[in-house]
């Protein structure tokens, strides 16, 4: 299924293993001396996007010409479409290099599904960084103890409550995974960021949750260490052949594919699996991206690309990024552009399956 898309991803991953930067810049750089760059994130301050942006902001400020102050600004609402619609109305001419925007899979999925609230167009924006990531689902210790190794079938009789941003967001990846495992998970829609879902779990208002890797490393690992949470599974990662394998950041935690294979009734082939995998590919290997607004000139794009290349090339970057972001590709230039294409396209058959499932299970109807 969608062989061209998997081939494109294979090329990206293969290139990333041998190339840290493919751009040789001979450009007139922006002078950002004494200026403040606003890094707008369309989520709340408590989620994975916040952790990712706060990690990059000071490093980017050091690497940009003139060493401006990079300030992360949060603009949550409508599962990130509020902030994305706002960014669509901004122009490079008005900001002159002092505005960047961070999108997430939860911004990409409404676009992919034709959500009528989407007023933004990715082709108008200018990508300067693409970050892959993963995700980890976790449970309270008593429920985690019900699993038989990787077999989750004993969880089928439990009523789960989960804080969700919305069924058309990145949250559809765990929702579909849990459904395939035969679990009964009732989402409480409308939270402003995945961090709010974690807080529901901590307060006992939810008994299942997942976080993207950066938020899991910072905010959930302490819960695991304190005995308040137990990891259930990761969504996995993709190898160079497009196969779902264990997430390299969490090699001791089984992937969803492994849990599905071990759970009677869950199949890693067929329509549901193909749809899950298609949206997993769109949402996680190309999960977070940084954009300049429409109208950005090549000098500005090259300046930001060169700055992110400098950050990624730092001798300490592998160590500090692994601790904060996990072990995932950080891509610029043509690799970031290819990643954007993967994150904003999905197989039509998989899309149709997901749209039908959302309508049947959650009463969500979308204009297409």
| Separation between Cα atoms, residue 283 and residue 285, nearest integer Å | 6
The predicted pLDDT at position 334 comes to 94
Is residue 240 very low, low, confident or very high in pLDDT (cuts 50, 70, 90)?
confident
The predicted pLDDT at position 367 comes to 57
The predicted pLDDT at position 17 comes to 42
The predicted pLDDT at position 239 comes to 86
Q: Which CATH class name applies to 135-282?
A: alpha beta
Residues of the chain with CATH 3.40.190.150: 3-132+284-348
Residues of the chain with CATH 3.40.190.10: 135-282
The predicted pLDDT at position 3 comes to 45
| Separation between Cα atoms, residue 46 and residue 151, nearest integer Å | 32
Listed range (15-24, 306-315, 319-328, 337-346) with the worst mean pLDDT: 15-24
Residue by residue, DSSP assigns 20-50 as: S------------TT-EEEEEESS-TTSHHH
User: pTM (2 decimals)?
Assistant: 0.82
The predicted pLDDT at position 4 comes to 39
Q: What is the pLDDT of residues 39-71, one digit of tens each?
A: 999 998 988 899 999 999 999 999 999 999 999
| Separation between Cα atoms, residue 145 and residue 71, nearest integer Å | 43
Listed range (54-58, 160-164, 180-184, 235-239) with the worst mean pLDDT: 235-239
Closest Cα partner for 132 from 291, 328, 358, 316? Answer: 328
Top pLDDT among 192 and 340 is at: 340
- Check whether 303 has a pLDDT greater than 70: yes
CATH number of 3-132+284-348: 3.40.190.150
Distances, alpha carbon 75 to alpha carbons 40, 83, 158, in Å:
7, 6, 36
Read off the pLDDT of each residue in 301-323 and give the average, rounded to a whole number. 96
């Amino acid at each position: 299924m969608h062989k061209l898309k998997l081939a494109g991803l294979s090329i990206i991953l293969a290139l990333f293993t041998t190339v840290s930067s493919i751009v040789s810049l001979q450009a007139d750089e922006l002078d950002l001396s004494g200026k403040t760059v606003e890094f707008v994130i369309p989520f709340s301050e408590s989620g994975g996007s916040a952790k990712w942006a706060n990690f990059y902001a000071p490093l980017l400020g050091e690497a940009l010409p003139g060493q401006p102050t990079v300030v992360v600004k949060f603009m949550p609402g409508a599962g990130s479409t509020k902030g994305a619609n706002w960014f669509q109305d901004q122009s490079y001419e008005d900001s002159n290099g002092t505005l960047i925007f961070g999108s997430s899979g939860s911004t990409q999925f409404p676009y992919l599904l034709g959500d009528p609230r989407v007023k933004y167009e990715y082709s108008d924006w200018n990508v300067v960084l693409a970050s892959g990531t993963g995700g980890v689902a976790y449970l309270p210790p008593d429920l985690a103890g019900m699993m038989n190794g990787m077999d989750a079938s004993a969880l089928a009789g439990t009523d789960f409550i989960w804080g969700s941003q919305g069924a058309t967001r990145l949250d559809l990846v765990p929702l579909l995974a849990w459904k395939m495992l035969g679990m009964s998970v009732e989402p409480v829609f409308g939270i402003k960021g995945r961090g709010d879902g974690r807080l529901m779990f901590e307060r006992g208002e939810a008994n299942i949750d997942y976080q993207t890797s950066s938020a899991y490393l910072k905010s959930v690992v302490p819960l695991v260490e304190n005995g308040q949470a137990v990891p259930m599974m990761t969504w996995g990662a993709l190898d160079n052949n497009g196969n779902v394998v264990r997430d390299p950041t969490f090699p001791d935690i089984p992937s969803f594919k492994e849990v599905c294979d071990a759970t009677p009734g869950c199949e890693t082939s067929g329509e549901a699996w193909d749809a899950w995998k298609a949206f997993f590919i769109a949402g996680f290997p190309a999960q977070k991206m940084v954009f300049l607004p429409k109208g950005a000139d090549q000098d500005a794009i090259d300046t930001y690309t060169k700055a992110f290349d400098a950050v990624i090339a730092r001798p300490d970057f592998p160590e500090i990024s692994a601790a904060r972001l996990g072990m995932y590709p950080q891509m610029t230039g043509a690799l970031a552009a290819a990643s954007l294409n993967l994150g904003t396209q999905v197989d039509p058959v998989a899309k149709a399956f997901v749209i039908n499932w959302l309508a049947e299970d959650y009463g969500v109807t979308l204009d297409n």
